[in-house]
A and B are shown apart, each in its own frame.
Chain A
Amino acid sequence: MRAVVTVIGKDNVGILHKVSGICADMGANVIEVTQSVLQDMFAMIMLVDITGMEKDFSEMVDRMTELGEKLGLSIHTMHEDIFNSMHTI
């Protein structure tokens, strides 16, 4: 089982560190990261493996959302199934 974390917003120091910190804390393994900074807009998509997570996935969602609010970024944490089902037949 995998989840997708997307982070969009104004660039500042340590975003990747803080997001991956939460992943590590929750026991979610980061598989892939795509990130770009256009002018001062930061956009990152992170694919994480949540199979071995010891804690509840909804707790990770809450922590990511909380971090987003703190940093003024839009952070979405969603199970990969939603993308697979919407975009593939």
Chain B
Amino acid sequence: MLNVYNILETIRMIQDECLDIRTTTMGISLLDCIDTDIHKACDKVYEKIVTRAERLVPVGEQIEKEYGIPIINKRISVTPIAMLAAACPGQDPVEFAKTLQRAADTCGVNFIGGYSALVHKGFSSGDEALIRSIPEALAVTNNICSSVNIGSTKSGINMDAVKLMGQIVKETAERTADRDCIGAAKLVVFCNAVEDNPFMAGAFHGPGEPDCEIHVGVSGPGVVRSALTKYPDASINELADIIKKTAFKITRMGQLVGARASELLGVPFGIVDLSLAPTPAIGDSVAHILEEMGLEMCGTHGTTACLAMLNDAVKKGGVMASSTVGGLSGAFIPVSEDAGMIDAAVAGVLSLEKLEAMTAVCSVGLDMIVVPGDITPETISAIIADEAAIGMVNTKTTAVRLIPAIGKKEGETLEFGGLLGSGPVMPIRQQSAAKFINRGGRIPAPMHSLKN
């Protein structure tokens, strides 16, 4: 039965602690839009997206009103476009990006993700052309996100793709240098990419997914921090219990919204992604949760242990609250999108190396990190390779979203605004890894990939 305490707790979470549904993301398969004529394929893509997602935004708004819970983003993920581009050799895949942008404008969604290629074992027809078109595609569109999977635990790491992605990340930043290098903020390089991720910029609709489905990504770092504040002297396992209970409540809300959206849209419910996704808003920071646990500042010694506990407790609490958990599910640590991380990076306490260690125990990876504009493509590739190795060996998703700040040096800042926030240019090592990167080939899959 309803009681006053519970009602007020829910309202406080939403009103004062930034609890929200971060995204409802509709996954749409475009496999039936493949055509050897790129113009015909684009027409089919546009038609399918606007038909399927026609009611996505109004339904989201209706649910916001019904439950009084903000839904920050309404998004779409589509089949990796490289699969469509494969059928149109010699034709410019950027046409697909422009078509997706038109569809995004028509549907009124914040982003469409899926200008993607899966090349963890090698390039198939269409993959390389698509990857090489990413800088142009992200420069001529505003709401399109791109991702490339370059490794997996099962197949190892495709080092030719790693080398290429170093160049592509740099070029993407250069092409949008007049807009704070925003292109690179919409490009993710994955190892062990998941096929049902609702979060941008890495969302795409995997080929094993149904024709159309709806995913929900929840958020609520502020709620977790606030719950911990009430127990300043609790032991670590007591803190873990508090986080579990809080994650349960947050995830239940995601489950409710997903089920309702599925009912109203008439499409199957995909997954709830149990993530703690920060925003630059005050009180919505993952770093502040770690500091609440007892760190003077995020990034200092002990950060990895605190994050490991947080990430595990969020999953344990969330998993019982939802019938279908999926996506990335864990705590995110995007530097520019988290007020506490920004402060720690500016103070020089949070380093790239510490962030790398943190990615071994939490969701995703080196996310929204601004690096000096004169970084070489080989160094970007080497950072990608390091991060992919962590993902491959630990059988987890890792990703790299670096933003080379063209024309800027260490100590300066890039301002993206909105949910993307702002980030200080972080120092990198100056010694070259070019010889390693230029070798090419593939890092073989680890021993524990042989499970059959």
Cα separation A74 to B16 with both chains bound (whole Å): 12
- Distance between Cα atoms of A56 and B248 in the complex (Å): 31
A82 touches B15 (CB 8 A): no
- Interface SS of chain B: helix
Cβ-based interface call for A39 (8 A): no
- B2, B11, B320: the one contacting A80 at CB < 8 Å is B2
Q: How far is the CB of B426 from chain A (nearest CB, A)?
A: 38
B7 adjacent to A4 (CB under 8 Å): yes
CB neighbours (8 Å) of B348 from chain A are none
Hey, which chain A residues are within 8 Å of B379, CB to CB?
Answer: none
Q: Which residues of A contact B66 (CB under 8 A)?
A: 57-58, 61, 78-79
Enumerate chain B residues within 8 angstroms of A4, measured Cβ to Cβ: 2, 7
State whether A87 and B62 are in contact (beta carbons under 8 Å apart), knowing that A74-B15, A81-B256 are contacts in the complex: no
A45/B65 contact (C-beta < 8 A), A81-B256, A87-B249 known: no
Q: Which residues of B contact A86 (CB under 8 A)?
A: 6, 10, 249, 252-253, 256
- Note all chain B residues with C-beta closer than 8 A to A78: 10, 66-69
Q: Kindly report which residue of chain B lies nearest to residue A47, judged by CB atoms.
A: B2
Report chain A residues within 8 Å CB of B69.
78, 82
With most chain A CB atoms within 10 A of its CB, the pick from B7, B15, B67, B256 is B7
> By the criterion of a CB under 8 Å from any partner CB, how many residues of chain B are at the interface?
21
B7-A79 in contact (CB<8A): no
Residue B450 CB within 8 A of the other chain: no
Interface string of A48-89 (1 = CB under 8 A from B): 000000000110011000000000001011111111111101
Q: Say whether B11 contacts A6, CB under 8 Å.
A: yes
Tell me if B4 and A76 are in contact (CB < 8 A).
no
Q: How many A-B residue pairs have CB under 8 A?
A: 60
- Is B8 interfacial (CB 8 A cutoff)? yes
- Given A4-B2, A58-B62: A82 touches B255 (CB 8 Å cut-off): no
- The answer to whether B62 touches A82, judged by C-beta atoms less than 8 angstroms apart, is no
A76 to B249, CA, bound (A): 19
Least CB distance, A83 to chain B, in whole angstroms: 5
Closest chain A residue to B2 by CB distance?
Answer: A83
Distance in Å: Cβ of B220 to nearest Cβ of chain A: 11
Q: When each residue 1-19 of chain B gets 1 if its CB lies under 8 Å from chain A and 0 otherwise, what string results? A: 0101011111100010000
State whether A82 touches B256 (Cβ < 8 A): yes
Bound-complex Cα distance A34 to B255 (A): 29
> CA–CA, A84 to B252, complex, Å?
9
Knowing A4-B2, A83-B7, the reply to whether A61 touches B15 (Cβ < 8 A) is no
Give the shortest distance, in Å, between B278 (CB) and chain A (any CB): 21
Chain B interface (Cβ < 8 Å from any Cβ of A) = 2, 4, 6-11, 15, 62, 65-69, 249, 252-253, 255-256, 320
What residues of chain A have their CB less than 8 Å away from a CB belonging to chain B? 4, 6, 34, 45, 47, 57-58, 61-62, 74, 76-87, 89
| 21 intermolecular pairs with C-beta atoms under 8 Å apart | A4-B7, A6-B11, A45-B7, A57-B65, A58-B62, A61-B66, A76-B11, A76-B15, A77-B68, A78-B10, A78-B66, A79-B67, A80-B2, A81-B256, A82-B10, A83-B7, A85-B252, A86-B10, A86-B249, A86-B253, A87-B249
The 5 closest A-B pairs by CB, nearest first: A78-B68, A87-B6, A58-B65, A82-B67, A85-B256
